[in-house]
Amino acid sequence: MSLHELGVRQAAEGLAEKKFSSVELTQAVIDRVREKDSEIGAYLTFDEEGALASAKAADEARAARNDLPLLGVPVAIKDLINVKGQPCTCASKMLKGYTSPYDATVIKNLKAAGAVCAGRVNMDEFAMGSSTENSGLGVTRNPYDLSRVPGGSSGGSAAAVGGNLAIAAFGTDTGGSIRQPASFCNIVGLKPSYGRVSRFGVTAFASSLDQVGPMTKSVDDAAMLLQVLAGHDEMDGTTPKDPVPDYMKAMEGASMKGVKIGLPKEYYDVSGLDPEVKRITDEAIRSCEAAGAELVEVSLPHTEYAMAVYYIIAPAEASANLARFDGVRYGHRSERSDDVFNLYARSRAEGFGPEVKRRIIMGTYVLSSGYYDAYYGRASKVRTLIRRDFEEVFKKVDTLLTPVAPTPAFKIGEVQDPLTMYLNDLFTIPGSLAGNCSMSIPAGFAQSGDVKLPVGVQFICDAYREDSLLRIGKAFEGLSGK
Ligand code: GLN
């Protein structure tokens, strides 16, 4: 195996055993990116010198200590997470040229664990989208078929890991943005429970939904990275003080035996579910059963409202969060302005792309006086019903098994209509609204003409049960014939 193909666990072990140095590993990733990324377009920027300098420092630190879990492991960062001294554009023209003055808490944690922040990866502008086609700064292609999208919004992260252009990457998930691209690019993508991971220093899209999570080559890798990310942060009041479980330990002896898997009926009789995705999901269910899991049909009765609720709540929060990009405090400043109102209006008109504008318009509308109760107020109430559906179901089962997205990766340019694009998140949005944790794990390949496209399945667990999510995920990963 070449060094750039390694996952986090293999890389960390190889480094600890001094089989190779961090400089060698980081250089291998850089060489691979130089060779392949002109084709894939996963990265927006890559400070090679900075990454190699951090790698060298890690190698030097190794002489003194060998106890940091990620010492010398290079990882790629979605371009909306602040790393001091690096660009943070959110793939928007609005923030082109912006340099972060501070580290996000997740980055502080990663650096404290010894990781090397190597490269900034592409995304849909401000994380709004499902294909990375909304990036204002470049096209990213699916490493399994270059004519197709990598998914989104964390499409650069998924393409980098799936194409072996990174050891691992970090994404964010508001309604599906870690899980759907993970499914499209044949990798593991974990969305932690709301509050599990600090959002401080992560450019906000919808603050009541956003979470940072690992995008990796294995479930072990996801556990190792989540361990470093998770926990209380003074700078984010939604992160509880409770101790974080030992995730690697939680996976010891992982097995499907006796695991109660709920199959929510609302997720299975959906028109528009691709037959190959259905086949792969059915096979996954059967292999879990064969390995000793107990299948239970369950119902999440308010699922049908989730999409509508999300497309009120997420744009509402986005419209407030994006108000700061006004050409004065942040971002692109129009040169054509003669008064302050025009400065705001023109800077925003020139800086934001069409999807971001669409969300801001929807968001300000649903929050406007006279409409607030009818839209935002009501959506918040239905969100509570959706959360209760999950709470009820998790009294009966350990996990839910569902498709991740209705289809495998689609062609670049194929989905033109925003509403069709929104349907990608049909199966991921309800869990986001409920705040529980979920993971996309590779499950098979869909045959599409003469290409084979990766398809993942989603496991969903109750809030703050990442320990059981990882344990079940690890057991699933080990099944043959899935
Ligand atoms: N695709 C969804 C959207 O466009 C989710 C995005 C995300 O999770 N960041 O809003």
What is the reported pLDDT for 44?
98
Q: What is the mean pLDDT of residues 235-256?
A: 97
Domains delineated in the chain: 1-482 (3.90.1300.10)
Q: What is the mean pLDDT of residues 273-289?
A: 97
What is the reported pLDDT for 269?
80
- At 1, the pLDDT band (50, 70, 90 cuts) reads confident
pTM exceeding 0.75: yes
Give pLDDT tens digits for 95-154: 999 999 999 999 999 999 999 999 999 999 999 999 999 999 999 999 999 999 999 999
- Cα 423 to averaged position of ligand 1 atoms, centre (Å): 10
C-beta of 127 in contact with ligand 1 (< 6 A): yes
Give pLDDT tens digits for 398-424: 999 999 999 999 999 999 999 999 999
C-beta of 195 in contact with ligand 1 (< 6 A): no
Give pLDDT tens digits for 62-100: 988 778 999 999 999 999 999 999 999 999 999 999 999
C-beta of 128 in contact with ligand 1 (< 6 A): yes
C-beta of 125 in contact with ligand 1 (< 6 A): no
- Cα 175 to averaged position of ligand 1 atoms, centre (Å): 5
C-beta of 410 in contact with ligand 1 (< 6 A): no
- Cα 177 to averaged position of ligand 1 atoms, centre (Å): 5
Q: What is the mean pLDDT of residues 167-191?
A: 98
- At 235, the pLDDT band (50, 70, 90 cuts) reads very high
User: Hey, which residues are catalytic here?
Assistant: 78, 153, 177
Query: Cα dist. 416→31, 133, 298 in Å?
Result: 35, 10, 34
C-beta of 153 in contact with ligand 1 (< 6 A): yes
Q: Alpha-carbon distance 361 to 478, whole Å?
A: 46
Task: Give the ligand 1 atom nearest the CA of 209.
Answer: 8
In three-state secondary structure terms, 43 is strand
Query: Cα dist. 2→23, 54, 119, 126, 191 in Å?
Result: 14, 21, 20, 34, 29
pLDDT over threshold 80, residue 482: no
Residue whose CA lies nearest to ligand 1 atom number 5 = 175
pLDDT over threshold 70, residue 481: no
C-beta of 205 in contact with ligand 1 (< 6 A): yes
- Cα 431 to averaged position of ligand 1 atoms, centre (Å): 13
Determine contact, residues 270/405, Cβ cutoff 8 Å.
no
- Cα 66 to averaged position of ligand 1 atoms, centre (Å): 39
- At 364, the pLDDT band (50, 70, 90 cuts) reads very high
Q: Alpha-carbon distance 325 to 88, whole Å?
A: 14
Q: How does the average pLDDT of the chain come out, rounded? A: 96
CA proximity to 41, closest of 167, 144, 162, 139: 139
Give pLDDT tens digits for 373-405: 999 999 999 999 999 999 999 999 999 999 999
Residue whose CA lies nearest to ligand 1 atom number 4 = 129
Beta strands (DSSP E) in 157-280 are 169-173, 188-191, 211-216, 260-264
